[in-house]
Amino acid sequence: MWSRLYGIIAKEFLQLWRDKLALTLALFVPVAMLFIFGWAINTDVKHVPTAVFDQSGSVEARTLLEAFVNSQYFDVRHWVGSHRELTELIDRGSAKVGVVIPPDFARQLARKSASIQVIVDASDPMVATSATNAAAALGADRSLALVTQTTQGLVLRGEAPPLDFRVRAWYNPDLVSAIFIVPGLVGALLLQTTITAMAVSVVREREKGTLEALIVSPIRRWELLLGKIIPNLMTAYGQMTMALLVAHFVFDVPIRGSLVLLYALSLVFMWGSLGIGILVSTASRTVPQAMQLAFLTFLPSIYLSGLLFPIEGMPKGAQYIAHVIPLTYFLRIVRGIVLKGIGIEYLWRELLPLLAFGAVVFTLSVLRFRKQLD
């Protein structure tokens, strides 16, 4: 029995070793993915060319603008004297962000209801997103600082924050940053490998006619499945390790929680996605079919799981779908462990849906797989 299982596992690794392209991709894709997502988001957002229309000329306005520049997100390149000039600069693309400070800014601040206008060029969504977020964050920061100031000098009236940032953007999703995205990519990677590689490794044998020989051989169904699953899991864990190393050492992603817990819970996640991989293999006759089908199952996970866009901002229907996608829960686990350092006492709520999904999908897939071999 072990001879048969070992035979398959050894063969799978030999085949992976022979297929240099697949091997390179398996090792390179995680790194490439991290760089594409992490790096692009990191650099594009900083030093956005900014135009300022300061109608007040007050010290308070100057302090605020200093904070803008110090954040490194904005470079004040243009000082303008009219709305028309500002619009022109943004239209031309010389400025991506315009800041309009009202003439009575200092007085408004004193009355604790100051408002400034930030115009963001949304034609470049990455820039728009980060500029919007940065401005909003600065607004919150400054208002707190100003609250402290006012409480020292005057008697505090009311609870409203004195500074009201009017961010006018044509595109406004929530906070996205490398630190947030990169751990999520680990989940996407595991999903990709377990679905696509698993499905392809079965379908390739069917296409080549070797599956026929295995069916006639004394190999048991479970030995065949396990012999395919084990190398797949090992590859997936290898990729995950690679991704975590790059995330930590290149993108300064902190790893605050337990790696053992992360690797253990990943297994539960992969249980379900291996099931999808096996289902895909039973539904495809050729390798290209399997790849396309795998990609199709992969898409909703990428777009609806909260990997790139927060679920809260999605339409109701999409939110329902998001909650049957395992990656949604696994992302919370990865981010929870990596970024927040929380343990199973909080994460069991995310673990339960993964266990349920794994049990249902994996069982279904094995039944379908067995039936197809008969």
Partner 1 sequence: MESGGDRGSADLAVVTRGLTKRFAKVVAVDHLDLRVRRGELYGFLGPNGAGKSTTLRMLCGILEPSDGEGHVLGIDLRKNPERVKSAIGYMSQRFSLYDDLTVDENLTFYARVYMVPRGERAARIGRMVRLADLVGRERQLAGQLSGGYRQRLALACALVHTPALIFLDEPTAGVDPVSRRTFWALIRRLADEGTTILVTTHYMDEAELCDTLGFIYQGRLIATGSPARIKSEMFARPVVEIAADDPRAAAEALADWDAVEEVVRVGGRLRLIVAPGGPGAAGVREHLAARGLGVSLAAEVEPSVEDLFVSFVDRERKGRVREQLRALAESG
- Summarize as ranges the residues that interact with partner 1 (CB under 8 A): 3-4, 6-8, 10-11, 14-15, 18-19, 208-210, 212-219, 374
Strands (E) located in 253-334: none
Of 184, 150, 185, 146, nearest in space to 163 by CA: 146
> Residue 73: CB partners within 8 Å, gap ≥ 6?
45, 46, 47, 48, 130, 131, 134
At its nearest, how many Å lie between partner 1 and the CB of residue 211? 8
To the nearest whole angstrom, how small is the minimum distance from the Cβ of residue 139 to partner 1? 60
Nearest-angstrom CA–CA distance, 160 and 174:
23
CB of 278 to partner 1, least distance (A): 20
Look up residue 111 and give its DSSP letter. T
Closer CB to partner 1, residue 126 or residue 219? Answer: 219
Residue 337 CB-density burial (10 A; 0-12 exposed, 13-18 middle, 19+ buried): buried
Q: Which is nearer to partner 1, 10 or 259 (CB)?
A: 10
Residues near 201 by Cβ (< 8 Å), separated by ≥ 6? 12, 228, 232
Which structure tokens are listed for 34?
Answer: 């991290």
CA distances from 127 to 44, 133, 137, 230 (A): 7, 10, 15, 43
Which of 222, 320 has the CB closer to partner 1? Answer: 222
Task: Output the smallest distance, CB 245 to partner 1, in A.
Answer: 29
The least CB distance from residue 227 to partner 1, in Å, is 10
Q: Cα–Cα distances in Å, from 78 out to 29, 85, 313?
A: 42, 10, 34
Residue closer to partner 1 by CB (options 281, 305) is 281
Which residue, 15 or 55, has its beta carbon nearer to partner 1?
Answer: 15
Nearer to partner 1, 231 or 257 (CB): 231
Minimal distance in Å, beta carbon 3 to partner 1?
Answer: 5
